Copies of this chain bind each other. A is one copy, B any other.
Amino acid sequence: MENWLSKRAYLSPDAPAVQYGSQELTFKELQVAVLALAGKLVNVLDGNQRVGLLTRNNLMGYELILALQQLGRQIVLLNSRLADDELAYQISDANLSQVVVDDQLQYQLAVEQLSFTTIKNTQGKTVEPVVEFDNDQVTTIMYTSGTTGKPKGVLQTFGNHFYSAMGSVLNLGLTDQEAWLAVVPIFHISGLSIMMRSLLYGTKVVLVEKFSATDINHLLLDGQATIMSVVPTMLTALQADLSLGQRYPKHFRTFLVGGGPIDRTDLEHAQASGATIVQSYGMTETASQVVALDPKDAVKKIGSVGKPLFPVSLRIKTNDTSVNAVGRVQLKSPTLTAGYLNQTKKYLASFDEGWFDTGDWGYLDSEGYLYIVGREGDMISSGGENVFPDEVEAVYRALPEVDEVVVLGKKNQEWGQVPVAIIRFKAAASLSSEALRAYGRQHLAHYKVPQTFYLDQGTSFPRTASGKLQRYQLAKVLASFDLLP
């Protein structure tokens, strides 16, 4: 296929491409800006095919991603929230010699840093952009922040991004007013996929640097966006910020939710505010969503992440043939990563009879809707039985006294592991360990009931950059929590 930016600037030069604060660029203007930037980049970049980028969600970072694509470079999108030593690993693994760094950010890195200001102040020259974006060509690399293990450099091809955008459009549709709000990071697949869709669809991206419920609601209520990608905590905060009875305009059509399930209360609040919710499931390895719920089914199928998008096939790997049987979630998809950088064995090992094993556990109901019951590495194996923290947490979260609960496995002489829970109560509320245990026995199999309850005093639980809880990190510091009386 032709270079997507060239093609889009040719097809709809005057359509809005990106809005950032008070700035708005059409596709033609964006192309001009991006090519000017590419002309500066060639004067400071060395010959390394791969270039690192550390940026927040701002216009210069946005243009840099596109500019590096125009030069045919592979962009290693580094997570700007990582610590120096985490970055050092990824920089070394990707064999980077240069990293382009947002001036707002400060790092100690062992390689050359090119600041945004340096690049801006460089004399540019005219460059010829690449003619084609080949489907098989790797354009971006992202390290999975992973809930366990060593980060893996996920290779994303133009074909991955193309089919991802096609799968999404066949589920969500496309209007001539489309404007997709991106406050999820552009160094993450959730944000980058919005940028790629914009080129393919010819629609606007409303780029926002920092999540503020008030600011975002202002944009949405003002009709400045039609779709917004969110993680569940964002949705909760947005709903909490709305005044009673305040409704989003009809123009705003969808919250696309990724990174975990939303609960019924948030869903009902969101629907009362006039928004439709598309729950979805995906990962860096699948170039964004591969499974999504039809908004019409949001209430009927609460807890489900939906059905595989049109180009995606899904199976549950289990020997149990009954409906709702839990097994490994496995996929075939043209959006599936071409490999892990330097870890071919690990990549090949993630396939099972040609199916990519997501590492997640789930089941399909009788109508084929997918439910995720546990994430990679979260499963607790207790006396031969499998316990999924998500399930146990959902039961406890239903208690009016409970604000947050995290369930994890603790080593145990007799059972191998046992589930334990860290509970945070709502203000002025409390329950005893005994009461919590009794409640659990009413709703859960015996082996699923946490053996020990710890009291949380307002710790902020460790999460990945994309908002996923890192239970294994919590497990390391479990001893620092007080036992609940």
Contacts and interface: CB of A to CB of B under 8 A. Distances in A.
B170 A201 contact: yes
A202 B170 contact: yes
Interface residues of A, number: 23
A311 interface: yes
A12 B310 contact: no
Contact of A173 (B11, B174, B310): B174
A180 to B, nearest CB: 14
Q: Which of A1, A176, A294, A310 has the most CB of B within 10 A?
A: A310
Contacts of A166: 166
Interface in A5-38: 7, 10-12
Interface in A163-206: 166, 169-170, 173-176, 200-202
A130 to B, nearest CB: 14
Given A10-B368, A169-B169, A310 B200 contact: yes
Oligomeric state, in copies = 2
A2 interface: yes
A359 to B, nearest CB: 23
A311 B169 contact: no
A271 interface: no
A448 interface: no
A200 B309 CA distance: 11
Contacts of A175: 173, 175
Contacts of A7: 310
Interface of A: 1-2, 7, 10-12, 166, 169-170, 173-176, 200-202, 294, 307, 310-311, 313, 334, 368
26 contacts: A1-B310, A1-B311, A1-B334, A2-B313, A7-B310, A10-B307, A10-B368, A11-B294, A11-B307, A11-B310, A12-B294, A166-B166, A169-B169, A169-B170, A169-B174, A170-B174, A170-B200, A170-B201, A170-B202, A173-B173, A173-B174, A173-B175, A173-B176, A174-B174, A175-B175, A200-B310
Q: Which 6 A-B pairs have the closest CB atoms?
A: A173-B174, A174-B174, A166-B166, A2-B313, A11-B307, A10-B368
